[in-house]
């Protein structure tokens, strides 16, 4: 353990030693979680049952949280998480009575808080209440649900769409229900946790391929396709940690060659990519049917909460009658469905929001690159990382920017590999060039100090 005042050690060396100690403790906690003593088979557990089997504070996951928190406290770093925003969070926000330039919100098109969107939500509450109070299949269906789903289907030029109360659950229940042990699911190595959880639920064989590498995927399927019944390929439209996107036409060609299904998670690309915000399909000029399962969320550009699946009628009908996450869940609150429907309508009526978002993202990327910020492979649409290569550096950088009135979240180990620790900037169409220039200048200055 490194203590303050040790002679001959610079602050950088102290930080490195503390970080190495933290990583060792995290690995030990993880190993303990995997290698716990086997459970006893005596009736009722008995006195020999290890305490970690029945105490939450000894759970290895909680132990990891405590190790990280204690390490941050030792370094004098305040927690950057669970900041209390006191109003609408968009290009700006208010925290503890102070105004900040905000880069920690998915409110890409500034539609959360838009008067028309808020009015639609209020009207839905007056008409239908705050809850539909039942699964949609049995008694929870409301007109606004179908209106939203039909609008999403039109946006994708698909047969139909289905909405879920959670974007995470949309992936978990769709993948978990449609695929099984005799199937193979192959995904980009940076795919979202919800996809991995869905694959685990399905029992299908899971393989990953290197990020955005269609040749590697093709090689895997050339070797493995014959051994499985159904095969699903899963990609993201924009990868939420890196801000880059796949060359989708190449993946479409591979899925056709190997007779597989293709699923694209558009959580961060719908409302962002394409001339009018219709996503990666519009960006590449693809037909809707080129992708079998279109997935997206309502919580980003569409100012609501929940997820959706769009595709052919057989897919959507199947999910509506049998997917557990839809069948056994209460229907989406009317206010949320109405808000997302109104947001979609505003987006389509005002394509300038998408154009401005794209311009601001490119502006931020260009300015950051010009001052030597490592932005990785970001394409500059709406997600731009500033890679620091150190969790300690990322946490300190976020704190320094926060002190200067700029709110941006660090992404730390073990959420990403240590060498990939970063700040993650989410861009809004309402960020001004002046705000971006001020923020990039501050970012460069504070990086220099670190």
Catalytic site includes residue 268:
yes
Which one from 255, 300, 367, 393 is the annotated catalytic residue?
300
Residue 37, both tokens = 């003593």
Q: 240 by DSSP, 3-state: which?
A: coil
Q: What are phi and psi of 308, to 5 degrees?
A: -145, 155
Evaluated on CA atoms 306, 312, 313, 318, the torsion sign reads: negative
C-alpha span between 385 and 362 (Å, rounded): 13
CB 384, CB 427: distance < 8 Å? yes
Which one from 168, 245, 268, 393 is the annotated catalytic residue?
268
Residue 133, both tokens = 């109070």
Catalytic site includes residue 245:
no
Distances (CA, A) of 185 to 22, 168, 246, 277, 297: 35, 18, 18, 29, 21
Torsion of CA 280, 382, 358, 397, to 10 degrees: -160
Residue located via tokens 């716990």: 36
Nearest to 247 by CA among 283, 209, 277, 222: 283
Orientation of helix 143-156 relative to helix 334-349, angle to 10°: 30
Q: Which residues pair with 308 in a beta bridge?
A: 163, 296
Residue 95, both tokens = 């925290």
Q: What are phi and psi of 232, to 5 degrees?
A: -120, 135
Beta-sheet pairing, 383-387 with 92-95:
unpaired
How many Cβ atoms are within 10 Å of 308's Cβ, its own excluded? 27
Quote helix, strand, coil % in the chain, to nearest 5: 50, 15, 40
Which one from 158, 240, 390, 420 is the annotated catalytic residue?
240
C-alpha span between 219 and 206 (Å, rounded): 15
Specify the DSSP class assigned to residue 298: S
C-alpha span between 304 and 117 (Å, rounded): 9
Residue 425, both tokens = 């900037």
Q: Which residues pair with 162 in a beta bridge?
A: 309
CB 261, CB 293: distance < 8 Å? yes
Catalytic site includes residue 211:
no
C-alpha span between 272 and 83 (Å, rounded): 26
Active-site amino acid positions: 240, 268, 300
């Amino acid at each position: 353990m490194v203590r303050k005042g040790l002679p001959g050690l610079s602050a950088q060396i102290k930080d490195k030693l503390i970080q190495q100690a933290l990583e060792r403790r995290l690995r030990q906690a993880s190993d303990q979680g995997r290698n716990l003593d086997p459970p006893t088979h005596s009736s009722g557990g008995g006195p020999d049952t290890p305490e970690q089997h029945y105490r939450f504070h000894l759970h290895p996951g909680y132990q990891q949280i405590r190790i990280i928190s204690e390490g941050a406290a030792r370094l004098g770093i305040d927690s950057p998480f669970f900041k209390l925003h006191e109003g609408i969070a968009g290009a700006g926000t208010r925290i503890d009575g102070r105004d900040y330039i905000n880069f920690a919100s998915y409110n890409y098109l500034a539609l959360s808080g838009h008067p028309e969107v808020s009015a639609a939500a209020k009207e839905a509450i007056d008409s239908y209440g705050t809850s539909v109070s039942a699964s949609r299949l049995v008694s929870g269906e409301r007109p606004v649900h179908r209106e939203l789903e039909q609008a999403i289907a039109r946006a994708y030029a698909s047969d139909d769409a289905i909405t879920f109360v959670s974007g995470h659950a949309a992936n978990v229940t769709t993948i978990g229900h449609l695929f099984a042990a005799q199937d193979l699911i192959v995904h980009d190595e940076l795919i979202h946790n919800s996809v991995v959880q869905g694959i685990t639920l399905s029992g299908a064989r899971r393989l990953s391929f290197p990020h955005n590498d269609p040749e590697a995927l093709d090689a895997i399927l050339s070797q493995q396709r014959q051994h499985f019944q159904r095969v699903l390929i899963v990609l993201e439209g924009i990868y939420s940690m890196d801000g880059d996107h796949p060359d989708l036409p190449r993946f479409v060609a591979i899925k056709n060659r190997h007779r597989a299904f293709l699923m694209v998670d558009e959580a961060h690309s719908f409302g962002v990519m394409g001339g009018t915000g219709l996503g990666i399909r519009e960006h590449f000029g693809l037909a809707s049917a080129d992708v079998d399962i279109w997935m997206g969320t309502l919580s980003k550009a569409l100012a609501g909460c929940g997820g959706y699946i769009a595709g052919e009628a057989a897919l959507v009908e199947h999910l509506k009658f049998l997917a557990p996450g839809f069948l056994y869940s209460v229907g989406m609150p009317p206010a949320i469905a109405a808000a997302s429907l109104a947001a979609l309508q505003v987006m389509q009526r005002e394509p300038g929001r998408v154009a401005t978002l794209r311009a601001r993202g490119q502006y931020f990327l260009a300015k950051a690159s010009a001052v030597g910020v490592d932005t990785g492979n970001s394409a500059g649409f709406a997600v731009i990382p500033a890679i620091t290569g150190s969790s300690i550096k990322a946490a300190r950088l976020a704190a320094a920017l926060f002190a200067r009135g700029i709110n941006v979240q660090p992404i730390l180990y073990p959420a990403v590999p240590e060498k990939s620790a970063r700040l993650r900037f989410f861009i809004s169409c309402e960020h001004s060039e002046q705000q971006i220039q001020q923020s990039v200048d501050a970012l460069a200055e504070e990086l220099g100090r670190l």
